[in-house]
C-alpha cells in the first residue's frame, strides 16, 4: 500500500484530475486489475492523490472531518478505506527516514556496500532508540545523546576499570 505518481500508471483509465476537482472534495475514482488484484484509487481532497494497494479497497467508506473555508466550519467528508488505512500506517516509514537523516553517518565512498552498511547501522540505532524509549521509563533521552552513549560504550568497551 502506498501513494503512486501519475506517470507510473500510464495505461490505467482513471478519471482526470481536473474532472475530480470539479466534482468536489470528496470525489474519487478507482480501477482494479483482475490479474494482480491491485487497486488504484485517485481521490480529491486538498489536492489529488493516487493510492495503490494489493490488500485494501474502497469499501467500507468512512467519514473524516475536514475544514471547509466556504462554510467556515468542519464538515464530514466520505473517505475510502484505502486512504484511511494509508493515513493510519504511513507514519512508521516516514518517521524512520526522518530520524535517520538527522544524524546520518557521513560516508563518501565509491563502494556501494559501505553506504549500505552505514545505512543499516543508522537504521538499527534508530530502531533501537525507538524501542528503548517505548520500553524505558526514561522518555527524555534524545536520539543524539543515545547515539553518543552507544559510541562511548563502543570506544571504552575494551578498557578494564581497576577498583581498589
Residues 109 and 84 grouped into a single domain: no
pLDDT (tens digit per residue) in 133-150: 888 887 888 999 999 999
Instruction: Give the span between the Cα atoms of 156 and 29, in whole angstroms.
Output: 60
Q: Assess whether 76 and 145 both reside in one domain.
A: no
Say if 16 falls within a structural domain.
Answer: yes
pLDDT in tens, 37-52: 888 888 887 788 888 8
Can you give the C-alpha Rg of the chain in angstroms?
Answer: 23
Residue 82 CA to residue 41 CA, distance in Å, equals: 8
* Residue 162 within any structural domain of the chain: no
Tell me which residue of 16, 59, 17, 12 sits closest to 36, measured CA to CA.
Answer: 12
Q: What is the pLDDT of residue 128?
A: 92
- Residue 64, domain member (yes or no): yes
82 and 118 belong to one structural domain: no
What whole-number distance in Å separates Cα of residue 10 and Cα of residue 141? 47
Please report whether residue 58 resides in a domain: yes
Global pTM reads: 0.56
**42 and 85: one domain?**
yes
The per-residue pLDDT for 145 is 92
Give the three-state DSSP class for 66: strand
Per residue in 50-103, pLDDT (tens digit) is 888 888 878 888 887 888 777 788 888 888 888 888 877 776 667 788 888 888
- 75/33 Cα distance (integer angstroms): 33
Looking at the structure, do residues 72 and 142 belong to the same domain, yes or no?
no
Looking at the structure, tell me whether residues 16 and 85 fall in a common domain. yes
Residue 146 sits in which domain range? 91-155
Is there a domain that residue 163 lies in? no
Last-in-domain residue among 69, 89, 109: 89
Averaged confidence pLDDT in the chain: 82
Could you give the number of structural domains in the chain?
2
Residue 124 has pLDDT above 90, yes or no: yes
In a domain, 39, yes or no: yes
| 160 lies in some domain | no
95 in the same domain as 46: no
Residues 45, 68, single domain; the answer is: yes
pLDDT, residue 163, reads 63
pLDDT of residue 90: 74
Q: Three cell numbers at 54? A: 494489493
Looking at the chain, how many residues does it have?
164
In this structure, are strands 38-44 and 28-33 parallel, antiparallel, or unpaired?
A: antiparallel
Predicted pLDDT at 148: 92
Amino acid at each position: 500500500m502506498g501513494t503512486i505518481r501519475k506517470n507510473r500508471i500510464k495505461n490505467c483509465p482513471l478519471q482526470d484530475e481536473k474532472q475530480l476537482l470539479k466534482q468536489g472534495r470528496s470525489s474519487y475514482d478507482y480501477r482494479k486489475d483482475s490479474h494482480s488484484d491491485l487497486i488504484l484509487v485517485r481521490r480529491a481532497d486538498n489536492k489529488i492523490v493516487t493510492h495503490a494497494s494489493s490488500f485494501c479497497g474502497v469499501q467500507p467508506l468512512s467519514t473524516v472531518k475536514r475544514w471547509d473555508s466556504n462554510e467556515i466550519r468542519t464538515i464530514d467528508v466520505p473517505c475510502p478505506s484505502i486512504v484511511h488505512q494509508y493515513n493510519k500506517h504511513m507514519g512508521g516509514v516516514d518517521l524512520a527516514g526522518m530520524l535517520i537523516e538527522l544524524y546520518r553517518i557521513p560516508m563518501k565512498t565509491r563502494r556501494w556496500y559501505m553506504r549500505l552498511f552505514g545505512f543499516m547501522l543508522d537504521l538499527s540505532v534508530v530502531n533501537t532508540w525507538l524501542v528503548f524509549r517505548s520500553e524505558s521509563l526514561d522518555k527524555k533521552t534524545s536520539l543524539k545523546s543515545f547515539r553518543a552513549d552507544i559510541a562511548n560504550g563502543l570506544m571504552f568497551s575494551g578498557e578494564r576499570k581497576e577498583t581498589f
